[in-house]
Amino acid sequence: MSKLYIVPTPIGNLEDITLRSIRTLKETELIFAEDTRVTKKLLSHLDIQKPVHPFHAHNEHKSLNSAIDKIKANSHTVLVSDAGTPGISDPGFLLIRECITKGIDIECLPGPAAVIPAIVGSGFPCDRFVFEGFLPHKKGRQTRLLAIAEEVRTTVLYESPHRLVKCLGQIEEFMGKDRQICVARELTKLYEEFRRGSASEVKAYYEAHPPKGEIVIIIEGVQTKKVKNEKTV
């Protein structure tokens, strides 16, 4: 019986891999990796030697059939991405869906994903939230920003450091300068930072201090009570 194990890997701090993930990597016959060099470094740190095959974003559609053949030829295969949980803004979803369609068992291990420490550390409500991943760069971006502007739940976005200030400018434009936001940068790493404040305050900070590293933006939901009060004034 063949099985695909989805194994999350650290998003910065190598101590953040679970005992179960390490055991699963040790027991596997084959590992599919987004970037084989990144995964080989992690495996070498864990002193694990296993065959690692590429399964990255550019070939996810094309390599589905050959990946399924390899999974069927083994009893135990692992899927990892460069960091965090496969499928979360990373390759994985298509392969997982294809396994389910083909009747191949999957087992999804819990573990690191930047979205979780980011929203919890933001201090905004996290009982319900919307994860938008990366916003599209061009087509559809404005539609998403308009939807987030009306969203009552907390919204989480992934963003690159060189696009951060532009994105904060659009948050200010679409949601108002006073919308409360938080930028979570370099989570689990040495220079981890949470910067909280209004959209204009946080934007001004990063204009003065151009950011490096990996970034999550958390946007507080629209305050419906306030909107009603403002309208009635």
Minimum CB separation of residue 38 from ligand SAM in Å reads 11
Kindly tell me which residue out of 114, 167, 168, 219 binds ligand SAM, with binding defined by CB under 6 A: 114
CA 80 to each of CA 64, 90, 155: distance values in angstroms, whole numbers, following the listed order:
15, 9, 26
Ramachandran category for residue 87: left, alpha or beta (phi over 0 → left; psi -120 to 50 → alpha): left
Our CB check for ligand SAM shows the closer of 70 and 185 to be 185
- Please give the sequence-ordered ranges of beta strands (E in DSSP) within 111-192, or none if there are none: 129-134, 154-159, 180-185
**Nearest of 54, 2, 64, 51 to residue 25 by alpha carbon:** 51
Enter the tokens of residue 128: 């319900």
Q: Structure tokens of 182?
A: 């938080």
Among 160, 223, 224, 229, binds ligand SAM (CB under 6 A): 160
Binding region for ligand SAM (CB under 6 A) out of 44-52, 139-147, 180-188, 204-212? 180-188
Q: How many residues sit close enough to ligand SAM to count as binding (CB under 6 A)?
A: 24
**Which residue's CB is nearer to ligand SAM, number 172 or number 214?**
214
Nearest-approach distance from CB 217 to ligand SAM, in angstroms = 8
User: Which residues are within 8 A (CB) of 179 and not within 5 positions of it... i.e. 6 or more apart?
Assistant: 171, 172, 198, 199, 219, 220, 222
In the region spanning residues 196 to 225, those forming contacts with ligand SAM, defined by CB under 6 A, are 214-216
Strands (E), 50-102: 52-54, 76-80
Q: How far is the CB of 23 from ligand SAM (least distance, A)?
A: 21
Q: Does residue number 90 form part of the binding site for ligand SAM (CB under 6 A)?
A: yes
Between 156 and 175, CB nearer to ligand SAM: 156
Candidate list 18, 188, 198, 200; residue touching ligand SAM; CB under 6 A: 188
* Count of other CB atoms within 10 angstroms of residue 219: 25
Contacts to ligand SAM by CB under 6 A: 11-12, 81, 83-85, 88-90, 113-115, 158-160, 184-189, 214-216
